[in-house]
Structure 1
Amino acid sequence: MFRAVVTAAAAVALVIGGAAPATAAPSSVPGAPTSVRVTGAADSATVTWGRPGSGAKVTGWRVTVSPAEQQPDGGVDRLPATARSDRFGDLTASTTYTFSVRAVGSRGAGKAVSVRYTAPGSVRTVQSLYALDGTGSVVRFPVSGTGAPTTIAPNGAGFTADDVGDVFVPSGDRTSIVMYPAGGAAPRTVATGLHLGADLRSDVAGNLYWVDSSTGAITKLPVTGAAPRAIIPSAGTGWAVGRDGTVSAVTFGRAGADSTVVSVSPSGARTTRSFPETGYRVFAGVLADGHGNLYLNYTATGASGASGWVLLAAGSSTLTAADDRLAFDYAATTTRSLLIAKSAEWCAAPADSSPTGCSADKTITSVVSRNADGSVAERVTSGVKAQGRGLWIGAADEAGDLFIDVRAGATPGLWRLDAAGGVAQRLSAGAFTRLLVI
């Protein structure tokens, strides 16, 4: 992740055993890579290597990590022949990882060379909040709530960012993707000849996704540099990308028809599920966490216009309630949780839309966290009033801070609801959209 990292000691290069010598391989396959090294800090590690000293021509590289928990594509990265490094994020503290690098040729793969790295046992990391400001520029805020925002890219409609802070923006004609590097280097085009919509998304590994404006298919641009490819033929009514790289398309049923969910795992495994539509609610949006869980927002038909969130757990075809009471709310997901900021009171649709407005108290008084393991926690907050009825999506950091954009009402602006609770903090009185924390 793009983070200011605080550790007890500076990050150092670590070569912890397992580095095999570069021995000759049969001429039909490449030899073993040379100078394989691993360096790391906090929850990420970078593996570097050199070309083999013998063997067939290298056409690509296969880099693996073990254990592979929380890693996209089962911990296997396939890189082009020009690659000389690979980065792995979301590592678990105090865990020893083995990284293996193998050269691939037209007739097979050569000998692997492995190195090991142990993630630090205690680190503190700080993520960043990205958003579109009123001018359409991508800006970055510290999630701590202190410090002015930094402008990253102009004309950023549809932007996303990867886990190291590189920002990706669709070009104005929607045929190219432009990257603004985290380190501040000049922007560069990373893909052309595309049919983009104004909605790029990414996963923890840095793979990019969008809905092809010509075919309607969810399309993936692998971080490895491979060509983009369609992974789900249709985005359905709504789609989501989990932090782990699981991509899901939901087609909500109408008039009593079942709803369907097509999901593709990081390894490429495809599953299709269905769940019955009750006929009294209309689904409006979908969020994903990093464990394959989907959270669906709905609005009930009829005069009340009640709305809420339901959970479709990984591998399940049964919907369960994700919140416990009606409220004006704002929602976001982290790797492991759904966070919902909820108002003190709620009122029916006719009252909310009347000329005199709704008399209910719209003050956000609590943030409910529903975790992937099923546990639920709630914290008390104050200081900001909800805008009203609607599907309002915010963003959250892994510490549990929730960021929301209130566009109208008594307390407009960009707000931070601290993970510890307490009075909400207004980061800016301006209008911001497309909130994203990495």
Structure 2
Amino acid sequence: MYRALITVAAAAALVIGGVAPATAASSSPSSVPGAPTSVRVSGAADSATLTWGAPKSGAKVTGWKVTIAPAQQQPDNGVDRLPAKARSDRFGELSPKTTYRFSVRAIGAKKTGRTILVRYTTPSIVTTTQSLYALDASGNVVRFGTDGADAGTEGAGTVVASNGVGFAADDVGDVFTPSADLTSILFHPADGGATRTLATGLHLTPDLRTDVAGNLYWIDSVSGAVQKLPVGGATATTVLDLGGTASGSDRRYWTVTPDGKVVVFGGPASKMYVKGTGIAPRSLTSMSGLGIGYPAAVLADSHGNVYLDILSPGAAGSWAWYLLKPGATAPSVIEPRLAFEYGAANADGFSLLQSAEWCAAPAEYPTSHTGCKVDRSIPDMLVTGAEGTSTVPVTGLTAGSRGPNTGAAADDGDVFVDIDSGPSAGLWRVPAAGGAAQQLSSAQYSRLLVI
């Protein structure tokens, strides 16, 4: 079950500039590419696909420039540059009851061709059903429905790719995995078709990421820079130079938001930094309660908020989440208490599940005389985002081991976590409104992704 798109009201695509889409052609000189032909836009729910044909005359096409406006929530401010062979482009995260303008023009070796414009109005009511992807203990990528329909069925979910360590997926169900030698990206289509090689000659680390448009990202194992492979492309470009690979005490963690912002959290103790695309780079300053710590994980939303997981120094073994607001250098405390915990983020904000009580790590050592006999049940979920902060009650979950423990959050706010030990070991769904948690599987999964 990959992302299903349900349209309640139909919408029309109209040409608003240039010539009719079925007959668009160019009378420009041979140094200028002609206009694209048969330009069409079709949509379903919160996505739209623009299609076009090759020009009937003009210079050789070396690429295409495609834009969408308004461009909120779109990677690269709504501008896509595609290879010459491309004949379509897809845009996701569209808002209901909104008229979008799409443009496409051919790029030549010397000049660009004439732009053809079309528009599309999204339905007034939009419903989307996302999918949960996870890596099982055998290294297979498994897909689950996010509505909990498969809960309680052992082995529920569908294996969509094998040897998928470091996988990524897009919102139509396509899955991408690094090759075993980390030099190629493999493409596993949502329709179950044959796996094919998408790009070769790469220096991958086993950690692919995607944005809502389906662009792929990874950290180059040689240069340490964040690379991007555009949809339909075979050549990667550098989008964030980090000045070489991480070394010494520089720990780096990174994420990509649905709208394509790359965020990197790194540095040694007391010299932590945040860098990225679409956000201001900065060194972090101390704050009351932060002290000295070590980067442990990072999440981000599409509003520019960055969520930092910081490991405390010494033997206490405390992992705590902080909020770094747009432009700020001092993180803010968002945690109600120290706890065994699970964090997740979506485009709108951050969710945090915490145990009722916590103990320092030495209490868990075999030589401890007191033991760690605290209440690890999870009584609530903290939700923070553009609309403020709230807490909802949760039942049925008990935390496992201490650690950064990042999960995944759906657009509707449901949170998915894997608990590694204890009475709640397995894969769980926590409804956005709180209440009883729902177990999807008692097996262990990692690298959770909802899209």
TM-score of the aligned structures, taking structure 1 as reference length? 0.93
Counterpart for residue 316 of structure 1: 328
TM-aligned CA distance change 1:130 to 1:38, over 3 Å: same
Q: Give the conservation status (yes or no) of the 8 Å contact 1:275–1:318.
A: yes
Question: Which of residues 359, 363, 375 in structure 1 aligns to 2:377?
Answer: 363
DSSP-derived class of the 2:363 partner: helix
Counterpart for residue 305 of structure 1: 317
DSSP-derived class of the 1:364 partner: coil
Question: Which of residues 263, 267, 287 in structure 1 aligns to 2:299?
Answer: 287
More off after superposition, 172-181 vs 357-366: 357-366
Counterpart for residue 8 of structure 2: 8
Counterpart for residue 249 of structure 2: none
Identify unmatched segments of 5+ residues in structure 1.
Answer: none
Question: Which of residues 116, 134, 154 in structure 1 aligns to 2:162?
Answer: 154
Counterpart for residue 282 of structure 2: 273
TM-aligned CA distance change 1:291 to 1:353, over 3 Å: farther
Question: Which of residues 17, 20, 23 in structure 1 aligns to 2:18?
Answer: 20
Q: Give the conservation status (yes or no) of the 8 Å contact 1:197–1:211.
A: yes
DSSP-derived class of the 1:109 partner: coil
Question: Which of residues 216, 222, 228 in structure 2 aligns to 1:220?
Answer: 228
- Alpha-carbon deviations, 1:166-206, whole Å to 9, x = none? 10011111111101011211111001111111111111121
- Alpha-carbon deviations, 1:13-42, whole Å to 9, x = none? x33241521242233211211111110010
DSSP-derived class of the 2:89 partner: strand
Counterparts of 2:280 and 2:239 in 1: how far apart (Å)?
12
DSSP-derived class of the 1:74 partner: helix
Counterparts of 1:366 and 1:296 in 2: how far apart (Å)?
20
Counterpart for residue 153 of structure 2: none
Q: Give the conservation status (yes or no) of the 8 Å contact 1:58–1:103.
A: yes
Counterparts of 1:369 and 1:158 in 2: how far apart (Å)?
28
Counterpart for residue 51 of structure 2: 48
Asked whether 1:119 is paired with 2:122, we answer yes
The within-5 A match list for 1:219-238 is 219-234=227-242, 236=246, 237-238=252-253
Counterparts of 1:387 and 1:336 in 2: how far apart (Å)?
27
Counterparts of 1:99 and 1:317 in 2: how far apart (Å)?
38
- Alpha-carbon deviations, 1:377-429, whole Å to 9, x = none? 11111111100321101111011111111111122111111112111111111
Counterpart for residue 110 of structure 1: 113
Q: Which amino acid aligns with 1:227?
A: T
Question: Which of residues 205, 221, 228 in structure 2 aligns to 1:197?
Answer: 205
Question: Which of residues 10, 29, 32 in structure 2 aligns to 1:29?
Answer: 32
Q: Give the conservation status (yes or no) of the 8 Å contact 2:134–2:142.
A: yes
Asked whether 1:176 is paired with 2:184, we answer yes
Counterpart for residue 59 of structure 1: 62
Q: Give the conservation status (yes or no) of the 8 Å contact 2:6–2:44.
A: no
Following TM superposition, by how much is the alpha carbon of 1:330 offset from its aligned partner in structure 2, in angstroms? 0.3
Question: Which of residues 401, 423, 428 in structure 1 aligns to 2:414?
Answer: 401
DSSP-derived class of the 1:108 partner: coil
Counterparts of 2:236 and 2:6 in 1: how far apart (Å)?
36
Counterpart for residue 267 of structure 2: 252
DSSP-derived class of the 1:317 partner: coil
Asked whether 1:98 is paired with 2:111, we answer no
- Alpha-carbon deviations, 1:122-144, whole Å to 9, x = none? 02111000001122111100001
DSSP-derived class of the 1:351 partner: helix
- Alpha-carbon deviations, 1:203-222, whole Å to 9, x = none? 11211111222222222222
TM-aligned CA distance change 1:2 to 1:411, over 3 Å: closer
Counterparts of 2:238 and 2:101 in 1: how far apart (Å)?
32
Q: Give the conservation status (yes or no) of the 8 Å contact 2:419–2:425.
A: yes
Counterparts of 2:30 and 2:436 in 1: how far apart (Å)?
68
Following TM superposition, by how much is the alpha carbon of 1:374 offset from its aligned partner in structure 2, in angstroms? 5.8
Asked whether 1:68 is paired with 2:98, we answer no
- Alpha-carbon deviations, 1:260-281, whole Å to 9, x = none? 222123xxxx843112256532
DSSP-derived class of the 2:114 partner: coil
More off after superposition, 108-117 vs 239-248: 239-248
Following TM superposition, by how much is the alpha carbon of 1:357 offset from its aligned partner in structure 2, in angstroms? 4.2
Q: Give the conservation status (yes or no) of the 8 Å contact 1:44–1:88.
A: yes
Asked whether 1:166 is paired with 2:169, we answer no
Q: Give the conservation status (yes or no) of the 8 Å contact 2:323–2:333.
A: yes
More off after superposition, 208-217 vs 345-354: 345-354
DSSP-derived class of the 1:230 partner: strand
TM-score of the aligned structures, taking structure 2 as reference length? 0.90
DSSP-derived class of the 2:14 partner: coil
- Alpha-carbon deviations, 1:299-322, whole Å to 9, x = none? 222454333111112232221112
